[in-house]
Structure 1
């Protein structure tokens, strides 16, 4: 086996492992009885988001998806990774410690990216909803327009409700078949396709809810202002979108002007600067995978983030001391190993 084949095999194993771990957390969050805003659930949400973001990066590195392919050309096992934006969007909406405006904006990008990918691959033929313009959202409509809109919305909801019920019944049957150790490829493919269609309907519902919530948040911000103007804001949420190269970056960026989409190289370089990935080597994918596997202490990262958001004096002091230390001790100054 060549080195490239070995690295590719390692990438597939690592991606599947990270994705499966994230899905276990996701299912626990979705089916749990504990309040979403409780600290344990919020920690689980952030941990799951982190894992799905790592999975998204590995999918980008693998070059798994291409706009030149059809759904039939995709290997069965890769179909589940088309769900990544929808899963990230669903989890993002559950975040309680972030600005709600940031939360719905990022979730909106994820859901629309998911719908566009599903449309590109022929999973669905739905039109991807466009974000409502502020001027259009406040433009008064006459009674005929209002009635027509209500009828169309009501019919769409009824049809989607019927479709979702049928899909859930089908998923329940396919899930039982998937639990068999001898499940065949056709059954797997039908299961993943049905799952994608189910999330298409969920994404449409979530986008509709976001559009209804957006003007409320704008109204509150306009009349109430910032609740705590002197408090340091948490870092702005930024979505992680699957992208392979600069061309795709331009394409996706054109669809979402405010989205800071990164190419694989830019994403990797940013992680190096953040100290999460090692400096560039001869084999970026393999090194990235090793780092992703080693970086398992998500709960500790979430805990530190929550301390900062809550203005914990000890954690803030620790970070200030660390920043001062980094200013006075640049990386590599103390490393004399293998240096002539």
Structure 2
């Protein structure tokens, strides 16, 4: 893909290409991952916001040029464009590093990014639908043996995913510098980006599981906070005689508390964060979407399997067996084949095979009625 420059009104300098901006954001993300600064320090949070800004700008530019389409296959995506599939994954990882009071909002933003990344990978058939995976892992809770079997399968899957992730991490770590410097050929670079995407898919699923648990903790914390605030809040219109005889110091303190509460209500609410996700090209979707008459809905293999199930096409095993028998018959010696037929006929005569005897009787009767040379002698030239 030819590198295009972002306009001056687009969040980046005019001499900064998408490739350079994405690489810079990628390196900043890796610096955050390996940083030893405190999570809530000002310097660390400043780097987090700068990294998010670069990645969001890259995402905006990808949307402008409509780099991805829901109707294309992964083989149709160029090698240089594969790396931009990782943008929502990077944004989700960086969003989790934000330090602010409303943790639930941070979790929501990160969840949107990870789900958008996985959905894009599902469209390109790089991973299985997350809902199908969860349905397989949950299942029914009625049978205790089934639960144990299911738990064993989940454990084995996690072990396999862990080993696969380690292998992908080793490969990515080994080839990262060579791919960035473009000292390897296009095939190696493509394999690198695909394996990096596979590794990120595993990470995204793990992050979504962690977000699900943390969101439950955040909700529980909110419920407990609201309950404690409700227990300490004054009840209007239910003042007792003891409250009417309160001291002046208590009244002064209540007045100060009321002023402080009034001051809090006057503070403007902070605008909530909005995720920047990779959108689809609306024009392409309208023309080549699901309603397009020539859009293929089945692959060749799926179409053949469907015809086999309907009984229109023969089964592959039966076809292979027939071809094998025909090949053996074609390779057999004609004299040997004739000897085998004679041996079978002699065995039928000796054993008085009823089918053979019946066939011979009917042949004799036919010869008695139809003499040699008889037949259709009309219209003879």
Structure 1 position 55, deviation (Å)? 0.6
- What per-residue deviation string (whole Å, max 9, x for no partner) do you get for residues 172-220 of structure 1? 3322542665311011101111110110010010001011112111111
Counterpart of 2:52 in structure 1 is: 49
How far apart, CA to CA, are the structure 2 residues paired with 1:116 and 1:22?
22
Secondary structure of 1:10's counterpart equals: coil
Q: Which residue of 2 aligns with 1:237?
A: 273
How many residues were matched structurally? 237
1:68/1:128 CA distance change after superposition, 3 Å: same
1:177-216 correspondence runs (5 A): 177-178=178-179, 181-216=182-217
Aligned to 1:120: 123
The TM-score normalised by the length of structure 2 is 0.55
Residues 156 and 248 of structure 1: CA distance in aligned 2, closer, same or farther (over 3 Å): farther
Q: Alpha-carbon deviation of 1:19?
A: 1.1
1:149 shift after superposition: 5.8
Distance of aligned partners of 1:42 and 1:52 in 2 relative to their CA distance in 1, 3 Å threshold: same
**CA deviation digits over 1:16-35, x for unaligned, max 9?**
12212212211111111112
* Corresponding residue of 2:321: none
Q: Deviations over 1:285-310 (max 9, x none)?
A: xxxxxxxxxxxxxxxxxxxxxxxxxx
Bigger CA radius of gyration: 2
Pair 1:183–1:125, CA change in 2 (3 A): same
Partner of 1:24: 27
In 2, Cα distance between equivalents of 1:178 and 1:22: 16
Q: Give yes or no for the alignment of 1:84 onto 2:87.
A: yes
Q: Is the 8 A contact 1:112 1:128 kept in 2?
A: no
Cα deviation for residue 222 of structure 1 reads 1.2
Task: Indicate whether 1:9 and 2:10 are aligned.
Answer: no
Higher RCO (CA-CA < 8 Å; seq separation 6+): 1
Give CA-to-partner distance per residue, 1:30-87, whole Å, 9 cap, x none: 1111122211111111111111111101000001000111111111111110000000
* 1:68 and 2:48 are equivalent in the alignment: no
Find out whether 1:157 has 2:196 as its counterpart.
no
CA distance in 1, matches of 2:273, 2:283: 24
Partners in 1 of 2:21 and 2:225 — Cα distance? 42
**3-state SS in 2 of match to 1:116:** helix
2:142 aligned with 1:106, yes or no? Answer: no
Question: How does 1:327-338 map onto structure 2 within 5 Å?
Answer: none
What aligned pairs does 1:166-315 form with structure 2 within 5 A after superposition?
A: 166-175=167-176, 177-178=178-179, 181-225=182-226, 230=265, 232-246=268-282
Distance (Å, rounded) in 1 between the aligned partners of 2:40 and 2:208: 22
Counterpart contact for 1:88–1:107, Cα < 8 Å: yes
Structure 1 unaligned residues grouped into runs of 5+: 251-340
Residues 61, 244 of structure 1: 8 Å contact kept:
no
TM-score if structure 1 supplies the norm length? 0.62
SS at match of 1:9: coil
Q: Would the alpha carbon gap of residues 249 and 69 (structure 1) be closer, same or farther in structure 2, given more than 3 Å must change?
A: closer
Aligned partners of 1:179, 1:218: CA distance in 2, in Å?
42
Deviating more after overlay: 207-216 vs 14-23: 14-23
Deviations 1:142-178 (A, max 9, x none): 7838656644442332121111011112223322542
Q: What is the distance in 2 between the residues matched to 1:222 and 1:95?
A: 23
Aligned-pair CA distance for 1:125: 2.6
The CA RMSD over aligned residues, in Å, is: 3.2
